[in-house]
Amino acid sequence: MMKKVFFVALLIGLLVVQVMAQGNGNRGQGMGRKGQREYVQGRGAGYGGGFNGGMNALVSSLPHEELSEAEIEGLMQMREEEKLARDVYLTLHQDWNHQIFQNIARSEQRHMEAVKTLLSKYNLMDPVIDDTVGVFFDPKIQNLYYALLQKGRISLKQALQVGALIEDLDIFDLKEFIKAADNVDIKTVYQNLMKGSRNHLRSFVSQLSAYGDSYEGTYLSSEEIEEIIDSPMERGLYDQDGNPLYPNIGW
């Protein structure tokens, strides 16, 4: 049910044209294969590589618990959903040469790795079989990648709107996954991903404001959007309830 809500919700409001379904020959567009491979392996321009050990250590310190089907489904979806965000931002950075996309793509890489830590902990299959930019295991997410790029390539403002839309959706989905989860380690990772998405949303909305534009919430309510963008940037690691850990180290 959650997966259905995700895909139906993301399709609403996007300009989905038939050419998107024919785009399989254009996978990884916007950046050469070598450049994509180097970036995702941590050798791309400006990316230091490596996963911040704070989250990895935190997840490892939490108990190993039995997984529900809902928790497994959520982990699989979030692994590819974070890749979707990373890949859209990397490609829009190539299109518009705006630093915000590359900066947030680096954060999305860390988010991907956080979910991968949980997949490894529970010996679950990783749906990211091919980590090339623009390539997805789930054909629905593959088509959504093209749909988001179609909108983001209209103008820089539309690209920033796509960024805000992705973060809006991520927060919405993470809230639902947290409700469905019982395991402390899963809820902890989701709380930290959601914190990151709130920061990303603030950044995209700030850039839109600088260009004389604004973002209207699509998945979250207008009140929720306003509450997020009117609050300061968040730092450090959070626990399973969304409270800062003490001492609070960066992530």
Average pLDDT of the residues in 155-167: 98
Average pLDDT of the residues in 144-148: 95
pLDDT at 182 over 60: yes
**In terms of pLDDT, which residue wins out, 168 or 43?**
168
Collapsed DSSP state (helix, strand, coil) of residue 80: helix
pLDDT at 219 over 90: yes
Residue 160's φ and ψ, nearest 5 degrees, are -65, -35
Rounded to 5°, the CA angle 62-64-66 comes to 135
pLDDT at 52: 52
**In terms of pLDDT, which residue wins out, 221 or 22?**
221
- What value does the mean pLDDT of the chain take? 83
pLDDT at 174: 98
Judge contact between 65 and 188, C-beta under 8 A.
no
SS3 percent helix, strand, coil of the chain, rounded to 5, is: 65, 0, 35
pLDDT band at 29 (very low <50, low <70, confident <90, very high): very low
**In terms of pLDDT, which residue wins out, 113 or 247?**
113
pLDDT at 111 over 50: yes
CA 18 – CA 62 distance, rounded (Å): 46
Domains of the chain in start order, with CATH, are: 2-10+52-229 (1.20.1260.10)
pLDDT at 54: 86
Judge contact between 118 and 64, C-beta under 8 A.
no
Average pLDDT of the residues in 226-238: 96
DSSP label at residue 126: P
pLDDT, tens digit, for every residue of 43-95?
Answer: 332 222 334 568 888 999 999 999 999 999 999 999 999 999 999 999 999 99
pLDDT at 5: 40
Residue 93's φ and ψ, nearest 5 degrees, are -65, -40
pLDDT at 179 over 80: yes
**In terms of pLDDT, which residue wins out, 182 or 56?**
182
pLDDT at 45: 29
pLDDT band at 249 (very low <50, low <70, confident <90, very high): low
Tokens of 57: 């250590």
Judge contact between 123 and 176, C-beta under 8 A.
no
Average pLDDT of the residues in 171-176: 98
pLDDT at 199 over 60: yes
pLDDT at 7 over 80: no
